[in-house]
Amino acid sequence: MLLRLVLIEDHQALREGLELLLGREGCDVVGTAGTAAEGRQLVERLAPDVALVDIRLGDDDGIDLTRRLLGEDPDRRIVLYTGSSDEELLFSGLDSGARGYALKDGSPRELVEALALVANGGSYVDPRLRPALLSRRSTERLPSLSNREREILDLLAQGLTGEQVAERLFLSAETVKTHIRNAMSKLEAHTRVHAIAIALREGYISPPDGAGLARG
């Protein structure tokens, strides 16, 4: 099934280019917007599988837009899109509740993989941001995660959904949710992907191999 996507990007040439490039990669771009207000309306009206939101939308802020969209409906799937690998921006973006964080350095195919991952319930952080994630390892110590919590976050980081983790570990979905909630609380994370980012940064889990997608 085609991925139904809304694109929110203020740069007209990139917006039009992405519509074409992602269409070639098999996405159904159901709507595009150049401002936060237009984007919000589109997402509300079209309920896409996933929305790609530029972090800087001219005078608007893609992170604020993400917070607002997720405040209305926490189940919305949003991938933030940025040309900056700034660490503070990354953590601010992850705090917003976005399930994906993609850099403009990536190829259209990589971007589609990230969008599909998030649309299917996973999370994504661009592998080029791994140094930024790891650079904060020496900051304040956090309460230790249990082995089970680490194991679950590790599987989430490998791209499994919560239900798949439950199946893999022969646990109930509710038990897995409880472990994730506890891990998020210990790590002071607001979202699953934020918890994975902190767990990577703190060295509780190892970065996934291969394409380096931080998923979960």
Could you give the 3-state DSSP secondary structure of residue 7? strand
What is the end-to-end Cα distance of the chain in Å, rounded? Answer: 22
Considering only residues 6 to 45 of the shown chain, the ones binding another protein according to CB under 8 A are: 11, 13-14, 17-18, 21, 24
What's the min distance (Å) between Cβ of 105 and another protein? 7
What's the min distance (Å) between Cβ of 25 and another protein? 10
Enumerate the β-bridge partners of residue 101.
80, 125
85 C-beta neighbours (distance < 10 Å), count: 15
Decide if residue 183 touches another protein (CB under 8 A): no
Decide if residue 82 touches another protein (CB under 8 A): yes
Decide if residue 103 touches another protein (CB under 8 A): yes
Decide if residue 113 touches another protein (CB under 8 A): no
* Contact yes or no for 193/157 (Cβ under 8 A): no
Beta carbon nearer to another protein, 82 or 161: 82
41, 107, 144, 206: which one binds another protein (CB under 8 A): 107
Cα separation, 77 vs 117, whole angstroms: 10
Could you give the strand order of the β-sheet that contains 100-103, starting from the edge strand earlier in sequence? Answer: 27-33, 3-8, 50-54, 78-82, 100-103, 124-125
What's the min distance (Å) between Cβ of 9 and another protein? 8
What's the min distance (Å) between Cβ of 104 and another protein? 4
Size of the site for another protein (CB under 8 A): 20
> CB under 8 Å to 160, separation ≥6 — which residues?
122, 168, 215, 216
Enumerate the β-bridge partners of residue 52.
7, 79
Cα separation, 32 vs 121, whole angstroms: 22
What's the min distance (Å) between Cβ of 196 and another protein? 23
* The one segment of 27-35, 72-80, 82-90, 92-100 that binds another protein by CB under 8 A: 82-90
DSSP, res 215: B
Beta carbon nearer to another protein, 98 or 166: 98
C-alpha neighbours within 13 Å on the C-beta side of residue 67: 12
At 142, list the tokens: 């956090």
26, 58, 83, 143: which one binds another protein (CB under 8 A): 83
What's the min distance (Å) between Cβ of 137 and another protein? 21
Decide if residue 108 touches another protein (CB under 8 A): yes
Footprint of another protein (CB under 8 A):
11, 13-14, 17-18, 21, 24, 55-56, 82-86, 89, 103-105, 107-108
